[in-house]
Amino acid sequence: MDISQARKNAIDNQIRPWGGLDYIANNALRDIPREDFVPDNYKNLAFADIEIPLTDKAKMLSPKVEGRLLDALHIRKNETVLEVGTGSGYLTAVLSKLCQSVTSIEIDETLSNSAQQKLKELDIKNVSFEVGDASKGWQRSTDFYDVVVISTSVPKITGRFFHLLNVGGRIFVVEGTGKAMSAKIITRLSEHKWETKSLFETQLDVMQGLETAAKFKF
């Protein structure tokens, strides 16, 4: 596989046509070697328009979803980011190129350790890794962020995530159950006011810990 051509094709033929037009974000996606974060048996599909399995409970987002969410969030260099679901660490590394710092939470300690090692090899130093269950909320109440990226679906977004944001901050989340899921950007306009914008319809696996809740209709 011609890696450089496959990377270019992913940007030009998947990400940009699907609304991922942010030049700075696309450069970050291009600069981080996605193929290094893909499991060995999926190397030939590193840039395919699919979610790549990492474990029986975790997948990498497809390139077009990554590009679209970054375009919608428009992350700035002075901002702090909370990533819920480290996964492979690829999106974590991309985020690190766009912002001041990233805190990345992962429920699977093995995935977290693997991602940490990969970012160390890339000499990325503005990411802190945490192992924990974000479905129960992120309890460190003194921490607030400019951007929150939730890389799985949730049946319904709740205040436990809203209140992690600074005023002016944004959350990317896929909300819903079954086949009725919508990707959204939620912006905190003031201390008690939020604005929600729907981006596109998609389907992602539900956040670990919320599987039972996903069986109920909201």
Give, to the nearest 10 degrees, the angle between helix 63-73 and helix 23-31. 140
Cα separation, 86 vs 92, in Å, equals 7
* Residue carrying the six token digits 């270019």: 8
How much is the pLDDT for 140? 63
> Could you tell me how many helices (H) and strands (E) the chain has, helices first?
6, 9
Residues in the chain: 218
Give yes or no for a contact between 152 and 85, defined as CB atoms under 8 angstroms apart: yes
Query: What is this structure's pTM?
Result: 0.94
pLDDT digit of tens for each residue in the chain (218 aa)? Answer: 689 999 999 999 999 999 999 999 999 999 999 999 999 999 999 999 999 999 999 999 999 999 999 999 999 999 999 999 999 999 999 999 999 999 999 999 999 999 999 999 999 999 999 999 988 876 665 689 999 999 999 999 887 788 889 999 999 999 999 888 999 999 999 999 999 999 999 999 999 988 775 554 44
Neighbours of 182 (CB within 10 A): 15
How much is the pLDDT for 218? 41
Please report, as a single letter, which amino acid is at residue 140.
R
Cα separation, 196 vs 72, in Å, equals 12
User: Residue 93 belongs to what H/E stretch?
Assistant: helix 90-98
What pairing do the DSSP bridges indicate for beta strands 127-131 and 101-106?
Answer: parallel
Rg (CA), the chain: 16
How much is the pLDDT for 162? 81
How much is the pLDDT for 193? 93
Q: Which two tokens mark 103? A: 């805190």
Q: Is 12 exposed, middle or buried (0-12, 13-18, 19+ CB in 10 A)?
A: exposed
How much is the pLDDT for 215? 56
Provide the β-strand partners of residue 83.
104, 149
- Say how many Å lie between the first and final Cα of the chain, rounded: 45
- Chain mean position to CA 192: 25
Cα separation, 218 vs 87, in Å, equals 27
Give yes or no for a contact between 115 and 131, defined as CB atoms under 8 angstroms apart: no
